[in-house]
Amino acid sequence: MLLEKNVIKNYCNNEIKNQWIAAPDSYPDFLSKILIEKKLENENYILSMKESLQKQIATYPSRKTNRLSLKNTSRSEQNKWQFETTTMFHNILKKENIIGIHNSMEEGSLELLESELKDFMIHARKFAPELNIEELGQAIRNYIVYVMFAQIHQVKTDFNMAAFGYSMLYPFTDNYIDSPNYTSKEKQEYNQLIRDKILGKKVSPKSSHQKKTCRLLSHIEDMYPRNLDSSVFTLLDIMLEAQEESLFQQKSDLFLSYEKRLDISIYKGGVSVLLDRFFVDKPITREDYLFYLAFGFFLQLADDLQDISEDTTSRNQTLFTLGETPEDKEKTVNKLLHFLSSIMKTYHTANDTFKDFIFENCCQLIFSSVTGSKAFFTETYVKQMEENLPVSLSFMEDLKKTPFDAGDIKNQKKYLKILDVMIK
């Protein structure tokens, strides 16, 4: 099936929108509460793992010179530490039952996943050492989406440079577009540079940021030469158009209606995920179209839910900043969960076990996002969401206290050095 703009627009404006409209806004009756005893068991396990990891990190052998002995920490010590730490993470992945990915993947596939994500981080650190931990997290989460789709279709993957380039575009483009530090004119010029690159025109990037953006697009072109198949460039052009439309959400002097915000969210979210699906080496069917556009829309709203506090402060116009009362926002969350359930049930795959795993973790994403933004919801609703979490809300809030401040450059450098040792 051809990846054409008019086809994608038609699906977004009709099928996906109608699915959303049809989704009820009542509290979902298919959610399963997690007993307090199970929550306590999960919390004890997490605390045990956290303590073990903290002890391991504390033994990290820095290669700084000891001025008294004038000896360097030997490379063998770092190699030993790297092996022990990697083994620890591998064992956690194979045994923990809170996320429980090992229950949905064969051991060989799980090992391939670990290797592929390690390759991603190696390339990311080499390509953009200036990215902080949060930005690296954004990029690898994007790549994981692609890997998950490959798993759904039972396609074994090696490290994919095109998917890498696309995944890395997020911290380079979206964060730039969403930043209040750049003018509308600067953002338009940046988008024009990207469009010219996508269309195969000669470009002259001025800054390091622009040069790297173009190099990421070149990674895609290297795997999908435009003279053989222009589909991926059609999708990238549509994605850019969707991003440009989303800029209207940042205009505080222009009120966007519910329908306009909905159209923007479906289009941007849907196309972004359809691109991830494109990199999976398997033909795209009509059913794929409907599912991945819908799933992308879900992820867009899930992202907006996570950012509800920031968007409210900056007056970004999403579906979650439209409703004036907590009850309005709760109905949107309920609708989102019903929508997710509907698209998952109607999409048939060769690997329904893994599809169910994705569904359960998407639900958990919504529960944690609501409880993490509890000021925007009623106390009753937050408690309902907490009942579905694998741990208590108080425990989750304590767990979110990171061992370093994201703005603390010294600690950022320390943990990035540790990361480099782990992935070498």
94 versus 63: which is more confidently predicted? 94
Is 395 part of any domain? yes
The Cα 250–Cα 315 span in angstroms is 7
pTM above 0.85, yes or no: yes
Identify the CA nearest to 110 among candidates 89, 121, 94, 123.
94
For position 355, what pLDDT does the model report?
94
Is 409 part of any domain? yes
Is 72 part of any domain? no
pLDDT digits (tens, 9 = 90+) for 227-275: 887 889 999 999 989 988 888 888 888 899 999 999 999 999 999 999 9
Assess whether pLDDT exceeds 70 at residue 413. Answer: yes
The Cα 78–Cα 92 span in angstroms is 21
Half-sphere exposure in the Cβ direction for 265 (13 Å, CA): 27
Range of the domain at 108: 5-54+77-423
Can you tell me which residue has the tokens 């750049």? 182
> Quick one: average pLDDT of 48-67?
79
Is 65 part of any domain? no
399 versus 159: which is more confidently predicted? 159
pLDDT digits (tens, 9 = 90+) for 308-357: 999 999 889 999 998 789 999 999 999 999 999 999 999 998 889 999 99
Count H helices, E strands: the chain? 19, 0
For position 403, what pLDDT does the model report?
54
Percent of the chain beyond pLDDT 90? Answer: 61
Is 310 part of any domain? yes
Is 59 part of any domain? no
Cβ(144)–Cβ(361) under 8 Å? no
Percent of the chain beyond pLDDT 70? Answer: 95
Assess whether pLDDT exceeds 50 at residue 68. Answer: no
Q: Rounded to the nearest 5 degrees, what angle is found at the Cα of 260, between the Cα atoms of 254 and 262?
A: 135
Assess whether pLDDT exceeds 90 at residue 281. Answer: no
pLDDT band at 302 (very low <50, low <70, confident <90, very high): very high
Long-range contacts of 130-135 (CB under 8 A, 24+ apart): 131/171, 132/406, 132/412, 132/416, 133/406, 133/412, 133/415, 133/416, 133/419, 134/406, 135/171, 135/175
pLDDT band at 226 (very low <50, low <70, confident <90, very high): confident
The Cα 118–Cα 133 span in angstroms is 15
Is 69 part of any domain? no
For position 250, what pLDDT does the model report?
85
Assign residue 199 the CATH number of its domain.
1.10.600
175 versus 333: which is more confidently predicted? 333
Look at the alpha carbons of 387, 28, 366, 273 in this order and tell me if their dihedral is positive or negative. positive
Is 371 part of any domain? yes
Most confident of 134-138, 229-233, 366-370: 366-370
Q: How many domains does the chain have?
A: 1
The Cα 421–Cα 424 span in angstroms is 5
| Average per-residue pLDDT for the chain | 89
For position 70, what pLDDT does the model report?
41
pLDDT band at 67 (very low <50, low <70, confident <90, very high): very low
